[in-house]
Structure 1
Amino acid sequence: MSVQPGWYVDPADTDTRRYWDGEGWLGAPIPVDAIPPDGPPPVEPPPAPVTPAAPTGTVAPTTVVPNGPPHQGPPPGYGPQPGHGPGWGPAAGPPGWGPQGSPPGRVPTAGQPGWVPPPGQPGWPMRAPEPRPHGLVLAGYGRRLVARLIDFGIVFALNIVANGWFVWRWAQEWAPYWQEILRRARRGETSAEGLPLPSERADALLLVILLVATALWLAYEVPAMAANGQTVGKRLMRIRAVPIAADQPLGMARSLSRWSTLGLPTLLWYCAGIGLVLQLVDALSPLFDHPLRQALHDKRAQTVVVEVPHQLASTPSNDRNQPPGDTP
């Protein structure tokens, strides 16, 4: 027995009604409490095709076909280009562009063969990558400065022991002079006549102090750098000096050459502090050297300072630290 045509509650959605024509459902559903119309629902017209609109303010160029009517629309090879905003442009590049060193129709990216920088722009659009000597990261200036301060502290402590008596004797030679200067300053006197000058022994003591200080610095730094490129300060900051040519120990000759540029000017402190100025310039030189961040003493010895990876900074384990098992 067939069901008569009419409006019935939709079994798939009991909140709606649909029209049954005796063979199937027709039309769109209506709410179940709405008054159904007489007869079947009207036939829905098919949707109209949607034509894409051209970008605002853009006029599509007209292509003239020989022996035929003008063709309204973009010519072959033209179309909106990503990154160029609305409008039409050549699919491959600006007018006059041609593939250079790349497959036809492919635009080479910056840095690839065939890439040509736009007019008025530099040939390399990004900063060159930082060099990695022997695959290691260059040490930053902050680490190098802290390592050097640690080493200076150790050398200063050694000088207190080895140079303490000479410094005390030198201070005693100059004590009468400075005491008289302070006495005249308190009385408001500006005359420099009759000041008790130190004896020639003060100059000899100063020279001995500088010689001892230089020798202590040399004995502290050169052997350690020759062995593994690290002093105590560099070891604590996990940096070391390596030759540019190969990742190997510096050796005594290269280590001495490297230290002499920074350490020997200590003897020139005797000459109005000229040595101190030279050492300051050397210490600041890595800030202005690119791309290897070499100080003047690095340039002389052809070395660079790099960071020590964690696995190299740790102490190598021996066989007793290995878990039991078969030996490979």
Structure 2
Amino acid sequence: MSVQPGWYVDPADPETRRYWDGEGWIGAPIPVDATPPEGPPSPEPAPAAAPAPTPHPGAPGGYLGQPGPGPAAGQPVGAPYRGQPGAGPYPGQPVGGPGQWPGHPPAPGQPPGPPPGWPYPSWPARPPLPRPHGLPLASYGARLVARLIDIFVLFLLNVAVNGWFVWRLLGELAPPLREAWRRAETPDATTAPLPPAGQQTDALWLAIVLIVAALWFAYEVPSMAARGQTFGKRVMGIRALPVEADQPLGFGRATRRWTTLGLPTLLWYCAGFGLLLQFMDAVSVLFDQPLRQALHDKRAQTVVVQLPRTRPDTRTTPRDRANPPGDTP
């Protein structure tokens, strides 16, 4: 899922806000505390064509007022060259900032970009990591440890609630397991099939996975809806927030987030297919850029951030309702 178009805090400059059209940033930035206009920004006027310098035989380099050597062979007149005052800070960057190409205004109907044959500007270094709502993204290790803590809590709950069903299931599976163990210990070459399991095996399997899913839902969804944190996330100091605003997830979004990861529990008895789906969801965060979203994050449009060690007291800190902090996509 892509982020909905709107005005968001620029990840490259948290002091400004720009318009995200669903695919990239457009328009000029505005101060972060200014009230953004309705809808996208008005298109910027095309820059006027720079007049070509007048050749002068006596001037250095052959151009009037041009210091140093002239442009390289084949370079258009009036275009900056490497080393000329006013040229971009790195090769391929146009003078005057992104989107401005002196002497080459875009033709009507032509998409913005460099003239034919010119290199397209790019980041001179690795782009900065986004900071949704002014907070850093949670690391992979913090998310993994928080999930392991939650799994341990759920294991204790299942021992208390699901223990009797597991004991009954082991009793139903005892005859074939004992016979398989006897054949492994003794050199028995018999090819007779193992004795069948009890008649209630399938019903007990279904009851166990239903109870596991119900306990997981009751443990995770209400706490995520209200605070964006389970017990494991609180221990690790991380929190799940909506991408578009710093606010609680709500029950509907928390349910959508859980169903992608927790609902495949019902498929555990299908040759472990449910476990495979959950493993793919858990490791998907390793390959997502730039927001490090797992599949369940993308389904609910959430992002997991690292909270500061000391949070301000919300009872005494004023809150700007018109401009919530850090709605970066």
TM over 0.5: yes
Distance 2:153 2:243 in 1: 28
Aligned CA RMSD, in angstroms, stands at 3.3
Distance 1:174 1:284 in 2: 33
Match of 1:107 among 87, 93, 111: 87
Secondary structure of 2:215's partner? helix
Distance 1:120 1:151, change over 3 A: farther
Structure 1 stretch displaced more, 198-207 or 271-280: 198-207
What is the aligned partner in structure 1 of residue 122 from structure 2?
124
Distance 1:173 1:315, change over 3 A: farther
Task: Give 1:105 shift.
Answer: 4.2
What is the aligned partner in structure 2 of residue 201 from structure 1?
200
What is the aligned partner in structure 1 of residue 277 from structure 2?
278
5 Å-filtered alignment, 1:79-228, equals: 79=68, 89-90=69-70, 95-96=75-76, 98-99=78-79, 105-110=85-90, 112-113=97-98, 114=100, 123-125=121-123, 126-228=125-227
What is the aligned partner in structure 2 of residue 292 from structure 1?
291
The answer to whether the 8 Å contact 2:146/2:235 transfers is yes
Query: Is 2:261 the counterpart of 1:267?
Result: no
Task: Give 1:193 shift.
Answer: 1.8
Distance 1:152 1:94, change over 3 A: farther
Structure 1 unmatched ranges of 5 or more = 1-63, 80-88, 319-328
Secondary structure of 2:200's partner? helix
5 Å-filtered alignment, 1:60-79, equals: 77=66, 79=68
Q: Which TM-score applies when normalising by structure 1?
A: 0.64
Distance 1:99 1:228, change over 3 A: farther
Q: Which TM-score applies when normalising by structure 2?
A: 0.64
What is the aligned partner in structure 1 of residue 43 from structure 2?
none
What is the aligned partner in structure 1 of residue 253 from structure 2?
254
- Deviation track 1:46-91 (CA, whole Å, cap 9, x = no partner) reads xxxxxxxxxxxxxxxxxx968xxxx9x9777454xxxxxxxxx548
Distance 1:190 1:93, change over 3 A: farther
What is the aligned partner in structure 2 of residue 85 from structure 1?
none
Task: Give 1:292 shift.
Answer: 1.2
Question: How many aligned residue pairs are there?
Answer: 238
Sequence identity (%): 52
The answer to whether the 8 Å contact 1:238/1:307 transfers is yes
Task: Give 1:188 shift.
Answer: 3.0
**Of the two, which has the highest radius of gyration?**
1
The answer to whether the 8 Å contact 2:261/2:281 transfers is yes
Distance 1:281 1:216 in 2: 22
Task: Give 1:175 shift.
Answer: 1.6
Distance 1:190 1:244 in 2: 62
Distance 1:210 1:78, change over 3 A: same
The answer to whether the 8 Å contact 1:242/1:306 transfers is yes
The answer to whether the 8 Å contact 1:92/1:106 transfers is no
What is the aligned partner in structure 1 of residue 235 from structure 2?
236
